[in-house]
Amino acid sequence: MFDKAEIEIPCPKCRHKTSKTIAWIKAHSDFVCAGCGVTIALEKKKLLAGLNEVDKSLAKFRKTLSGLGKRR
């Protein structure tokens, strides 16, 4: 659902911000900063865990909305 969403990733060395889509991040483990050339390792476990929590919350919200529509 969020694969096309972009995230700005700041370089820990020079603070240059690089935009990457979530789909791109899922497919890669690191990238080179365009600002200073340092290789940045992505913390994919944290991102994917956070996305999983968002998906669960949205599913719960949809279920709640669906239940409200049936009460009418």
Task: Supply the DSSP string of the chain, one letter for each residue.
Answer: --TT-EEEEE-TTT--EEEEEHHHHHH-SEEE-TTT--EEE--HHHHHHHHHHHHHHHHHHHHHHHHHHHT-
Nearest to 15 by CA among 43, 42, 38: 38
pTM (two decimals): 0.68
Mean pLDDT, 10 residues at a time, over the chain (72 residues)? Answer: 88 96 92 97 86 89 83 58
Residue 69: CA atoms inside 13 Å, Cβ hemisphere, count? Answer: 6
Q: What is the pLDDT of residue 52?
A: 86
